[in-house]
């Protein structure tokens, strides 16, 4: 499985993401710079976290309208897997690749801590290394992770099993509706999530609960 | 040259924690009876045309495509 990591001005979790993908797949991902519109032939495109374009206007709004995102959108429509973490999730909703919006945390505070996630749907390309209902540890670090969708959209994504990760009871750090932490698109090949699984993949991180997500997406689940 | 002003506000029913915090601060300053404070954004821009209808259509397109996130925000256009 070949992967790629998008690099945009202001994104700062790209190195962590490159390290995680390299360690888990055994192959370094290629990188995609903001001006590129010819996306290499890969199986997984990852948009990492950070503060693209200074979070100006709305988090992810500027990045979502760059030509590189149009090219990624075309790839997603062709079935290529796309993962957006943190600012990457914000970019995906702003680009219309995922439904809803990410608003300022209800506490108005930047939250940087470890939370627990419930794997609500273990039957996706991004979560099959986990057990249905499994509770995993995961770090979060964001100011605008408060997931919002109108009632109709919320009912649709809940009904379709598009909610993949929920903040486990009592750990919702941002006021997200229905404790939503990560969702997939209707096609199941685009996942956005606020928590940072790339920061919990090995003993040096204090745990490896995030590994399963990459093992699923990169198709390297141990038999 | 036409001057336009775009005002972007949160839709009804969308939680606005910043508005709530501002409302609390107004209360702390002694302003009584203040409710439903909502924070928004204002964009002023100039369009190089004399055709107001064309300018309005263009600004509307800008709002739909970038200035507002219509999932959570409404916008109004005025020509001050």
Question: Domain for residue A222, yes or no?
Answer: no
| B18/A148 Cβ within 8 A | no
pLDDT of residue B73: 96
* Alpha-carbon separation of residue A25 from A48, A200, A211, A219, B53 (angstroms): 17, 15, 11, 9, 56
B55–A contact, CB cutoff 8 A: no
Q: What is the pLDDT of residues A120-136, one digit of tens each?
A: 999 999 999 999 999 99
Question: Domain for residue A223, yes or no?
Answer: no
B71–A contact, CB cutoff 8 A: yes
Is residue A193 within 8 A of residue A164, CB to CB? The reply is: yes
Is residue A138 within 8 A of residue A116, CB to CB? The reply is: yes
B12–A contact, CB cutoff 8 A: no
Is residue A128 within 8 A of residue A222, CB to CB? The reply is: no
Over residues B23-29, mean pLDDT: 94
CB-facing half-sphere around the CA of A115: CA atoms within 13 A: 24
Pairing between β-strand A190-193 and β-strand A81-85 as defined by DSSP bridges: parallel
pLDDT of residue A72: 97
- What percent of chain A stands above pLDDT 90? 96
Asked about A86 being catalytic, the answer comes back as yes
Q: What is the pLDDT of residues A64-115, one digit of tens each?
A: 999 999 999 999 999 999 999 999 999 999 999 999 999 999 999 999 999 9
Contacts of A5 (CB under 8 A, 6+ apart): A14, A17, A18, A21, A29, A30, A31, A32, A46, A48
CATH number of the domain at A213, please. 3.40.50.880
Catalytic residue among A94, A118, A142, A198: A198
Contacts of A143 (CB under 8 A, 6+ apart): A59, A104, A105, A109, A110, A111
CB pairs under 8 A between A and B: 37
Range B2-78 classified under CATH 3.30.1280.10? yes
pLDDT of residue A221: 74
| A100/B14 Cβ within 8 A | no
| B21/A148 Cβ within 8 A | no
Question: Domain for residue A53, yes or no?
Answer: yes
pLDDT of residue A222: 61
DSSP 8-state code for residue A65: T
pLDDT of residue A220: 86
Is residue B55 within 8 A of residue B4, CB to CB? The reply is: yes
Which residue segment(s) compose the domain that A88 sits in?
3-217
B14–A contact, CB cutoff 8 A: yes
- What percent of chain B stands above pLDDT 90? 92
Domain count along chain A: 1
Q: Where are the beta strands (DSSP E) in A59-187?
A: 81-85, 101-103, 111-119, 135-142, 146-148, 163-167, 180-184
Domain coordinates of chain B in residue numbers?
Answer: 2-78
């Amino acid at each position: 499985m070949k992967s790629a990591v998008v690099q945009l001005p202001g994104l700062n979790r790209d190195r962590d993401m490159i390290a995680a993908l390299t360690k888990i797949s055994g192959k370094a991902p290629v990188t995609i710079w903001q001006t590129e519109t010819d996306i290499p032939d890969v199986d997984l495109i990852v948009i990492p976290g950070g503060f693209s374009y200074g979070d100006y206007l709305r988090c992810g709004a500027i990045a979502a309208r760059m030509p590189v995102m149009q090219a990624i959108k075309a790839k997603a429509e062709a079935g290529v897997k796309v993962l957006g973490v943190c600012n990457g999730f914000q970019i995906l909703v702003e680009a219309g690749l995922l439904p809803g919006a990410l608003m300022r945390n209800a506490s108005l505070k930047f939250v940087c801590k470890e939370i627990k996630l419930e794997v609500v749907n273990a039957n996706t390309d991004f979560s099959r290394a986990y057990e249905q209902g499994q509770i995993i540890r995961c770090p979060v670090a964001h100011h605008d992770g408060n997931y919002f969708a109108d009632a109709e959209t919320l009912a649709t994504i809940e009904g379709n099993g598009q909610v993949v990760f929920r903040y486990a009871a009592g750990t919702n750090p941002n006021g997200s509706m229905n404790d939503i932490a990560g969702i997939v698109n209707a096609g199941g090949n685009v996942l956005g999530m606020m928590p940072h699984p790339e920061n919990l993949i090995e003993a040096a991180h204090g745990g490896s609960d995030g590994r399963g997500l990459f093992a699923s997406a990169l198709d390297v689940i141990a038999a | 040259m036409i001057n336009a002003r775009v005002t972007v506000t949160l839709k009804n029913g969308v939680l606005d924690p910043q508005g709530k915090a501002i409302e609390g601060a107004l209360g702390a300053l002694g302003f009584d009876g203040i409710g439903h404070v909502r924070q928004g954004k204002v964009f002023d821009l100039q369009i190089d045309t004399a055709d107001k209808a064309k300018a309005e259509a263009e600004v509307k397109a800008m709002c739909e495509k970038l200035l507002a996130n219509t999932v959570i925000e409404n916008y109004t256009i005025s020509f001050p």
